[in-house]
Amino acid sequence: MKIVSIESYVLTDKLKESFYFSQWGYSERKICIVKITSDSGHIGWGEGYGPAGVIKAGIEHITPFILGQNPLETETIWGIMYRRTLDFARRGVLMSAVSAIDVALWDLKGKVLNLPVYQLLGGKKREYILPYATGLYFANGNGENLSKELAEEAASYVALGYKAMKMKVGLGIDKDIAYVKCIREAIGPDVKLMIDANHAYNLREAISLAKAVEEYDISWFEEPISPEYYDQYAELRNKTSIPIAGGECEYLRFGFQTLLKSNSVDIVQPDICATGGLTEAKRIATLASVYGVELVPHTWGTGIAIAAAAHFITNLDTIPGRLNSAECMMEHDRTENGLRDQLTSTNMTIKNGYLELTDEPGLGIFINEDALIKFSSCDKGKRTIDTIR
């Protein structure tokens, strides 16, 4: 079996309403996805996390090295991509291109073998995953009604059945404390609440905020400080009872080794579509297990990335093992995203707040061809039935 084509698409969706986080605002969603076809007619879909146009260029750069390879040999192909990009991609967006191709190959392999990706990864370790809602951004930047809007949004996630959610902090310590209090009051004591600063703070500020919100039962404080300051993360961990999370800006098992060796985090958060795909994420999970550190992937983007995370988490080992193991969480972005909502359909379901996978082959997603054409402005003449699966 051979790879006969690798096609990438940049998808763009203008948002009806911009949203903001601790660094800047977004007015559109832009994502690069990739379609890989084998000479047997099977198709796999992947996605890269990061600047879509650059990822597309990266995929085009890598394509000649892997055309003609056997798509079932995911690890062999990963090795080729790694060695061909090693001098330029130990960190950064070219690794997202590698990740997109790797995810597509796992999807394709599952379809060829008629098995779900979680079985190819080694099997099902749990029946259910606990998705947590990501949202609670700073709508309209810093509006007067933000407290009310955040409380209403948080309550809407509870009404949808979510048992956990993550909010943004990073507007300034005093404002953050007020918004955390307001959301905790809106959701009550039984729903898990995490905070994410997107590295808005220095060490002193992060310690102040962490100590001030400890009373609101925060399940983790994500990216409190810039990801380069490993030692400061370690110091923060020693000064708060809130678990510290990070790693969405980290790449490859080598990057995670630095993070883990420095005792910087309680929870590592590799993004499968950036850190090296499913092949490398599995190695990172093994490495995290060596250090006894929990792993909850950073998950963003379309249904392709969400499905990749769901299959990965289904296969993830819980450390430590025990009779009643802790639930494994999965990030579930709830902010406006037409690409996420319209590009794919899936038989995955969320019931009573828990996500349940099906045993559809590959990633178990179906591509909506009309949405692909609409968001990528691709040539309608290229429309073929094989883009559906």
Q: Which is nearer to Mg ion, 267 or 308 (CB)?
A: 267
What residues numbered 163-182 form the site for Mg ion, per CB under 5 A? none
Q: Which is nearer to Mg ion, 288 or 365 (CB)?
A: 288
Which listed range, 154-162, 207-215, 216-224, 353-361, lies at the site for Mg ion (CB under 5 A)? 216-224
Smallest gap from Cβ 170 to Mg ion, in A, equals 11
Distance CA 170, CA 367 (A): 36
8 A C-beta contact, residue 111 and residue 361: yes
Q: Which is nearer to Mg ion, 132 or 162 (CB)?
A: 132
Kindly tell me which of 162 and 221 has the beta carbon lying closer to Mg ion.
Answer: 221
Q: Is 42 a catalytic residue?
A: no
Q: Least CB distance from residue 248 to Mg ion, whole Å?
A: 5
Q: Would you say 94 or 169 has its CB closer to Mg ion?
A: 169
Least separation in angstroms between CB 284 and Mg ion: 17
From residue 320 to residue 339, the character string flagging contacts with Mg ion as x (rule: CB under 5 A) and all else as - is --------------------
Distances from the Cα of 53 to the Cα of 8, 15, 227, 379, angstroms: 10, 18, 24, 18
Q: Does 271 bind Mg ion (CB under 5 A)?
A: no
> Which span sits near Mg ion by CB under 5 A: 178-186, 193-201, 299-307, 358-366?
193-201
* Token code pair at residue 230: 């490993």
How many beta carbons lie within 10 A of that of residue 42, not counting itself?
A: 21
Provide, rounded to whole angstroms, the least separation between the CB of residue 222 and Mg ion: 5
Interface with Mg ion (CB under 5 A), residue from 107, 196, 271, 280: 196
Token pair, residue 352, equals 């009573």
Phi and psi angles of residue 134, each rounded to the nearest 5 degrees, phi first: -100, 125
Of the candidates 42, 298, 311, 332, the residue annotated as catalytic is 298
Is 294 an interacting residue with respect to Mg ion (CB under 5 A)? Answer: no
Which residue's CB comes closest to Mg ion?
196
Which one of 90-98, 202-210, 222-230, 360-368 is the stretch in contact with Mg ion (CB under 5 A)?
222-230
Using CA atoms, how far apart are residues 226 and 123, in angstroms rounded to an integer?
36
Q: What CA–CA distance (Å, rounded) separates 312 from 357?
A: 11
Instruction: Pick between residue 196 and residue 360 the one whose CB is nearest to Mg ion.
Output: 196
Binding segment toward Mg ion, per CB under 5 A, in 98-106, 217-225, 333-341, 352-360: 217-225
| Smallest gap from residue 299 Cβ to Mg ion (A) | 10
Give the residues lining the site for Mg ion (CB under 5 A). Answer: 196, 222
Could you give the residue numbers annotated as active site?
A: 298
